[in-house]
């Protein structure tokens, strides 16, 4: 009986060649559709990479270092510069697209993030002057809120927030304002990447023995695996390169990154080529006058105090 069934099947196909061809055509069509979907997905990924990355805080120490690290990764970089700070861009002005905007003015941010794949928000301050209305909430939360809203309205799905890690020497009000910003961005439905950075420093510049010791111990296993590895000051280049890796890598489910995570990202990536921008741009430290000035000054975000903590 099985043999007869096979013979009938062959006989039926011989008498119905059109049906057999239809099956073949349908199979080819399904394969072609799958190939088209793969091409479309690859096109979307390439388009996202080609749209570039927008950085707030152009003309500041941290913003410019992250921009230089992104350029070294081959990314297209755009900068948002505070009005009046255009001259602080230095050589970056020739290698990036930049425009002026005030992160505390939602109207000035309108449309600035369009055609970008991600936004890196670097603006913030460790100091405040409530008497002049410059509270931590305004300096750190409101700026992040406005930038997150800009991402939503301009169709940018990925935002990287440079936040801060809690440590005994960090003002609690500062950390509280950063956590409020993190929560707000998370509620907005954006693909958020939170970088809880410790204090930063420039290698070779004078620092107190306390912070030099912290940096040394925090980079050595097994201490680097513990809480000390999160709060110990790190070179600004480590943060910049780590953020550049996060901005240019495929999406991950992880939300919060610490110093150790940034080091792992850098080690996992390909060896970085020397960047003319990184070699040319060397911010110089100056004293700030007010928290608003500190946002555009040449001191790094989270600058390590020169004196021992009291």
The domain ranges of the chain are 51-201+236-296
Residue-level pLDDT at 132: 85
pLDDT in 10s for each residue of the chain, 310 residues: 445 454 444 445 455 555 555 555 555 555 555 554 555 444 444 444 457 999 999 999 999 999 999 999 999 999 999 998 888 888 999 999 999 999 999 999 999 999 999 999 999 999 998 888 889 999 999 999 999 999 999 999 999 999 999 999 999 999 999 999 999 999 999 999 999 999 999 988 888 898 889 888 888 888 888 889 899 999 999 999 999 999 998 878 789 999 999 999 998 865 444 444 444 343 443 333 333 343 433 333 433 333 333 3
**How far apart, in Å, do the first and last CA atoms of the chain sit?**
95
Residue-level pLDDT at 307: 34
Token reading at 301:
């975000």
CA distance 38 to 258: 35
Residue-level pLDDT at 21: 53
Q: How buried is 152 (Cβ within 10 angstroms: 0-12 exposed, 13-18 middle, 19+ buried)?
A: middle
CA-closest candidate to residue 54, choices 140, 145, 141, 121: 121
Rg of the chain over Cα atoms, rounded to whole angstroms, equals 26
99 touches 112 (CB < 8 A): yes
39 touches 211 (CB < 8 A): no
pTM score = 0.74
Residue-level pLDDT at 9: 47
Residue-level pLDDT at 267: 87
The helix/strand/coil state of 262 is helix
- pLDDT, tens only, 67-106: 999 999 999 999 999 998 888 888 999 999 999 999 999 9
36 touches 211 (CB < 8 A): no
Fold of 51-201+236-296: Rossmann fold (3.40.50)
- The total of other beta-carbon atoms located within 10 Å of residue 118's CB is 25
275 touches 228 (CB < 8 A): no
Token reading at 278:
């990184």
- pLDDT, tens only, 255-304: 999 999 999 999 886 544 444 444 434 344 333 333 334 343 333 343 33
Residue-level pLDDT at 160: 97
């Amino acid at each position: 009986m099985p043999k007869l069934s096979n013979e009938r099947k062959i006989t039926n196909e011989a008498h119905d060649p059109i049906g057999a061809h239809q099956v073949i055509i349908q199979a080819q069509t399904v394969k072609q559709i799958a190939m088209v979907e793969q091409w479309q997905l690859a096109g979307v990924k390439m388009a996202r990479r080609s749209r570039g990355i927008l950085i707030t805080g152009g003309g500041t120490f941290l913003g410019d270092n992250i921009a230089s690290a992104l350029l070294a990764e081959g990314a297209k970089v755009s900068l948002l510069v505070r009005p009046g700070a255009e001259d602080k861009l230095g050589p970056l002005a020739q290698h990036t697209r930049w425009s002026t905007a005030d992160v505390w003015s939602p109207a000035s941010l309108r449309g600035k993030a369009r055609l970008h794949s991600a936004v890196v928000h670097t603006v913030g301050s460790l100091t405040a002057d409530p008497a002049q209305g410059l509270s931590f909430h305004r300096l750190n939360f409101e700026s992040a809120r406005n930038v997150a809203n800009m991402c939503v309205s301009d169709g940018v799905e990925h935002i990287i927030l440079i936040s801060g890690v809690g440590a005994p020497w960090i003002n609690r009000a500062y950390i509280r304002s950063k956590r409020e910003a993190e929560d707000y961005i998370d509620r907005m439905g954006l693909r958020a990447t939170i970088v809880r950075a410790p204090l930063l420093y420039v290698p070779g510049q004078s620092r107190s023995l306390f912070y030099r010791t912290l940096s040394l111990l925090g980079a050595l296993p097994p201490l680097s695996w513990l809480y000390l590895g999160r709060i110990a000051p790190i070179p600004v280049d480590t943060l910049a390169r780590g953020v550049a890796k996060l901005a240019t890598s495929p999406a991950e489910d992880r939300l919060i990154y610490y110093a150790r995570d940034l080091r792992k990202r850098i080690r996992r990536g390909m060896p970085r080529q020397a960047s003319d921008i990184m070699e040319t741009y060397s911010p110089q430290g100056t004293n700030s006058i007010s928290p608003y000035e500190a946002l555009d000054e040449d001191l790094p975000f989270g600058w390590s105090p020169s004196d021992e903590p009291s």
